[in-house]
Structure 1
Amino acid sequence: MSDTQLWISTLAILVLLVLSGFFSGSETALTAASRARMHQLEKSGDKRAGVVARLIAARERLIGALLLGNNLVNILASALATNVLLSLFGDAGVVYATLVMTFLVLIFSEVLPKTWAISRPDRFALAVSPIVSPVVSTFGPIVAGVEKIVRFILRLFGVNVEEGQAVLSAHEELRGTVDLQHKEGGLVKDERDRIGGLLDLAELEVSDIMVHRTNVMALNADDAPDKIVEEALKSPYTRLPLWRGESDNFIGILHAKDLLRALARANGNADDLKIEDIASPPWFVPDTTSLQDQLNAFLKRKAHFALVIDEYGEVMGLVTLEDILEEIVGEISDEHDVELPGVRPQPDGSVIVDGSVAIRDLNRATDWDLPDEEATTIAGLVIHEARMIPDERQVFTFYGFRITVLRREKNRITRLRIMPLAENDRVFGVKSAVIPSANAGRG
Structure 2
Amino acid sequence: MTALLEPQNLILVGIILMLLIFSGFFSSSETALTAASRVRMHAAEKDGDRRATIVARLMNVRERLLGGILLGNNLVNILASVLTTVLFTNLFGDSALALAAATGVMTALILIFAEVLPKTYAISQPDKLALIVARPISLIVTVLSPIVSMVQWIVNGVLHVFGIDTNASAWTAADEIKGAVDLHLQEGGVAKRARDQIYGVLEIGELAIEDVMIHRSNLSMVALESPPEDLFKEVLASGHSRLPVYSNDSDNVVGVIHVKDLLAALTKAGDAASVDVKKLLRQPWFVPETTSVVKQLRAFQSKREHFALVVDEYGALMGVITLEDILEEIVGDIQDEYDEELAGVKRMKEGGAVVRGDVAIRDLNRAMDWKLPDDEAVTIAGLVIHESQTIPTPGQTFAYHGYRFEILTRERNQIQSLRVRKTFEPDQRKNA
Which of the five TM-score ranges fits, normalised by the shorter chain? 0.7 to 0.9
Superposed CA offset, 1:61-113 (max 9, x none): 22232223323322333333233322222224333222211111111111221
Change (3 A) 1:340 1:242: farther
Which whole-Å deviations, capped at 9, do the CAs of 1:248-281 have from their partners, x for residues lacking one?
21122223334444555x3645556443443332
| Of 180, 188, 197, the match for 1:194 | 197
- Which residue in 2 is equivalent to 1:439? none
Find the aligned partners of 2:251 and 2:342 in 1 and give their Cα distance. 24
Q: Is 1:429 matched up with 2:431?
A: no
**Alignment match, 2:220:** 217
1:343 maps to which residue?
Answer: 345
Per the alignment, residue 99 of structure 1 pairs with 104
Contact 1:236-1:338 at 8 Å conserved across structures = no
Aligned residues: 426
Query: What is the aligned-residue RMSD (CA, Å)?
Result: 3.0
Q: Give the counterpart of 2:35 among 32, 36, 41.
A: 32
SS of the counterpart of 1:202?
helix
Other-structure match for 1:438: none
Partners of 2:45 and 2:53 within 8 A in 1: yes
Write out aligned runs for 1:50-61 (5 A): 50-61=53-64
1:213 Cα deviation after fit: 0.8
Q: CA deviation at 1:282?
A: 1.7
CA separation in 2, counterparts of 1:227 and 1:126?
73
Mean Cα deviation higher: 153-162 or 220-229: 153-162
Which segment drifts farther, 346-355 or 162-171? 162-171
**Corresponding residue for residue 325 of structure 1:** 327
Match of 1:170 in 2: 173
Separation (CA, whole Å) in 2 of partners of 1:23 and 1:149: 18
Q: Distance in 2 between matches of 1:324 and 1:134?
A: 51
Letter in 2 for 1:123: K
Question: Do the aligned partners of 2:71 and 2:148 also contact (CA within 8 Å) in 1?
Answer: no
Map of 1:237 onto structure 2: 240
Question: Which residue number in structure 2 is paired with residue 47 of structure 1?
Answer: 50
- Report the CA distance shift for 1:331/1:99 in structure 2 as closer, same or farther (over 3 A): same
Question: Which range moved further: 176-185 or 358-367?
Answer: 176-185
8 Å CA contact retained: 1:151, 1:161: no
1:36 positional shift: 2.6
Is 1:86 matched with 2:85?
no
Cα distance in 1 for residues equivalent to 2:342 and 2:187? 34
Rounded Cα–Cα distance in structure 1 between residues aligned with 2:158 and 2:372: 46
Out of 229-238 and 104-113, give the one that drifted further: 229-238
Candidates 257, 275, 280, aligned match of 2:277: 275
Q: Name the SS for the 1:318 alignment partner.
A: strand
Q: 1:277 to 1:38 in 2, by over 3 A?
A: farther
Tell me, which stretches of 5 or more residues in structure 1 are unaligned? 434-443
Q: Deviations over 1:123-155 (max 9, x none)?
A: 221222233233334x1xx42244135415643
> What is the one-letter code of the residue matched to 1:97?
A
Amino acid of the residue matched to residue 31 of structure 2?
A: T
Match of 2:123 in 1: 118
Q: Deviations over 1:303-328 (max 9, x none)?
A: 22221111111111111121122222
Letter matched to residue 370 of structure 2: W
1:147 maps to: 149
| Correspondence for 1:128 among 124, 133, 147 | 133
Q: Could you tell me how far apart the structure 1 residues matched to 2:356 and 2:165 are?
A: 53
Where 2:94 maps in the other structure, the secondary structure is helix
Query: What is the TM-score when the length of structure 1 is the normalising length?
Result: 0.85
Distance 1:101 1:320 in 2: 71
Amino acid at match of 1:222: E
1:333 positional shift: 0.5
- Kindly state the Cα deviation for residue 242 of structure 1 after the two structures are TM-superposed: 1.8
Task: Say which SS state the counterpart of residue 406 (structure 1) adopts.
Answer: strand
CA contact (8 A) 2:342 2:367 kept: no
Matching of residue 109 in structure 1 with residue 119 in structure 2: no
In 2 relative to 1, CA 53–396 (structure 1 residues): closer, same or farther, beyond 3 Å?
Answer: closer
The letter for the 1-side match of 2:127 is D
State how 1:339-418 maps to structure 2 within 5 Å: 341-418=343-420
Quick one: which amino acid aligns to residue 297 of structure 1?
A
**Separation in structure 2 between the aligned mates of residue 345 and residue 237 of structure 1, nearest angstrom:** 27
Show CA shifts across 1:190-223 (max 9, x none): 3332222222212232212221112111222333
Contact preservation (8 Å) 1:394, 1:432: no
Indicate conservation of the 8 Å contact 1:398/1:431, yes or no: no
Which range moved further: 303-312 or 220-229?
Answer: 220-229
- The answer (yes or no) to whether the contact 2:359–2:379 under 8 Å persists in 1 is yes
Q: Distance in 1 between the 2:171 and 2:221 partners?
A: 44
Write out per-residue CA displacement over residues 299-354 of structure 1, whole angstroms, 9 at most, x where no aligned residue.
33332222111111111111112112222222211123255751122333352222
Q: Which moved more, 1:156-165 or 1:371-380?
A: 156-165
Say if 1:398 and 1:429, in contact at 8 Å, map to a contact too.
yes
Unaligned runs of 5+ in 2: none
Whether the 8 Å CA contact 2:284–2:308 is kept in 1: the answer is yes
